[in-house]
């Protein structure tokens, strides 16, 4: 259970969201990616407060896959500094977490 994690990343459009989700699941770096449209983000960028409509990705994976997930997002993401935040999963339905572990394969 401690090795499971959720990685959150926001993207600008549906095409990017689908491209990243398909790549991560296809490469077995994530068991599942939720695509959540309609996120309104307010942030500071280059000294100015900005606001943008974005799509959030909730990426379910394992700690052993983190570096490869980060690299894949960096490769496929159009932002100069993409949001990539990892949160540990401290609990969950054991069968779901077993499935998550079975469906992901750390590189190497």
The pLDDT value given to residue 39: 96
Average pLDDT score over the chain: 96
Note the pLDDT of residue 107: 81
Model-wide pTM > 0.85: yes
d(CA 96, CA 77): 28
Q: 22-37 pLDDT, tens per residue? A: 999 999 999 999 999 9
> Alpha-carbon distance 80 to 71, whole Å?
13
Check residue 2 and give its pLDDT.
52
The CATH architecture of the domain made up of 4-102 is: 2-Layer Sandwich (3.30)
Separation between Cα atoms, residue 78 and residue 82, nearest integer Å = 8
pLDDT at position 106:
83
How many Å separate Cα 68 from the centre of its chain? 11
Q: What is the pLDDT of residues 42-72, one digit of tens each?
A: 999 999 999 999 999 999 999 999 999 999 9
pLDDT for res 100: 97
Domain ranges of the chain: 4-102
Give the gyration radius of the chain's Cα atoms.
14
**CB neighbourhood size of 69 (10 A):** 26
């Amino acid at each position: 259970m401690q090795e499971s994690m959720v990685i959150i990343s926001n993207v600008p459009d549906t095409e990017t969201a689908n491209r990243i989700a398909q790549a991560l699941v296809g490469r077995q770096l994530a068991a599942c990616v939720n695509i959540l449209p309609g996120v309104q983000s307010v942030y500071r960028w280059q000294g100015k407060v900005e606001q943008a409509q974005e799509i959030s990705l909730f990426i379910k994976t394992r700690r052993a896959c983190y570096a490869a997930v980060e690299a894949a997002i960096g490769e496929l993401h159009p932002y100069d500094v993409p949001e990539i935040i990892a949160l540990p999963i401290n609990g969950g339905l054991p069968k779901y977490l077993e499935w998550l572990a079975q469906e992901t394969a750390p590189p190497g």
